[in-house]
A and B are shown apart, each in its own frame.
Chain A
Amino acid sequence: MPRYFTEDHEWVEIDGDTATVGITDYAQGQLGDIVFVELPEEGAEIEKGKDAAVVESVKAASDVYSPITGTVIEANGALEDDPSLVNSSPEEDGWFFKLTVADEGELDGLMDEEAYGKFVANL
């Protein structure tokens, strides 16, 4: 399944009409120990580039922006019990939320894995 990345270090994986969103391994490393994740409610309409979730590390709160526009189908309940999943498995078990894909065209401006790898290497 194709996976895309933003310059703000979110990833989005597309499976038909559904997208799964999380933050990258680079992002969790920068944030440090994550103690709380505030996720959007099911049914919430979110827009590309707008705040969709908040990650709280010991040190600070950081916004997570949605890579695409859509309606939230599911939030990852596992993060409520164990927010450190974002540190231990950011790009698998530590996903944030799933949403509908409103406009596939929005994916065009995002990076693929290789491009994101180069982007991070230059930071």
Chain B
Amino acid sequence: MRSWWRVLGILLGVSVLFVGAWAEKLVVIGPWSGAEADPFIAVLDAFKAKTGIDYEYRTMRAEDLSKVLPAQFGAGMAPGDVIFMWGWWIAKFADHMADLTDVIADVPFAYVSPLVVNGRTVGVPYVVFVKPGFWYRKSFFAEYNLKPPTSWPDFISLLKRIKAIPGVEDAAASGDGVGWPLSDTTEHFILAYGGVNTFLGLIDGTVKWESPEVRAVFEDYLVPYLDYASEPIEWTSALDLWWEGKYGIYFMGNWITGMVDDPSDLGVFALPGAKAVTGGPDIFFVPKYSKRLEDAKKLAAFLMSKEGQELRAAGGGKLVVRADVSPTAYPPAERALMKALEGFSLVPDMDDTIGGEWQAAFWDQLKLLWVKPGALDDVLRVLDEKFPKG
């Protein structure tokens, strides 16, 4: 009998220790995984070393979080203490967020501003991504004597030449997450050949998807491009295939610099004629239901401190938001990107700005368009039908 008590005691002790160890960790939820997450993990490690506060990083996509969080908030709970999420979504659920006004009072923001709702800072932009255009390997272009295009016919000619190279499956790789890299490509085409005003009009609903100017962008530019683009491939697999030379160019955001073996081999060009590129912040919030609110605020403060931001800048893949971080803090690939973006204006990412049901419909319809360009009429109709009313 005594031995049973002993076993029970040990089990209880182990459980308490386990639960204690688990409970002590600050839970950080972000969208990045693998190589893309490494620079952020380095910042979290620095925070742990400095404060002694242990953390657990969990990868969760914003589209998954959007389905989990409302129910959790309804129960007065949250799955994490610091969570990265879409800006429009944070604004919609602002009542459930802790006020971070004091935490970021001294941060000199560049590019973007914190998300303030009813005088409360509910979302803090941590880093900025840009989607500058099509990436290529300098070594690949040099081997086949290819050059970035300077005009639309030049671009089509480049696609034809790449497609003709033996071993190349298609000229351009099309990455697919839940449809978002396709949306980035589409937005780039609209910006380049529809113009910034059309682009912004589509965001605020004053321009219809079935309008002649938008239809022209699709019919005259995007659909012809699809003849040279692959079917949607899971985007990290597409990255590997493109890097191996199965595809010549790949449209992706600047986080790609942190995901390839040799960032110095990367080159990028925007579509000829483009004057603007899309970009936006990765925003985090602290739920007011966090059981470790003060520690979460400490982490938020560290992430936004000059030390934390410089550390993140050194990891590459994103631009940090503090204006007082020197360009020398970035790796060479980011510095080259910043130089390449001179003269371009930055506009907000369309689907992240509109959000909601429309965002999901946009992704899904583009997946259809990519393999069925003939479905263009249906695609544009659905995008107008699904656009938020009012």
Bound pair (A, B): no
Residues of B with Cβ closer than 8 Å to A?
Answer: none
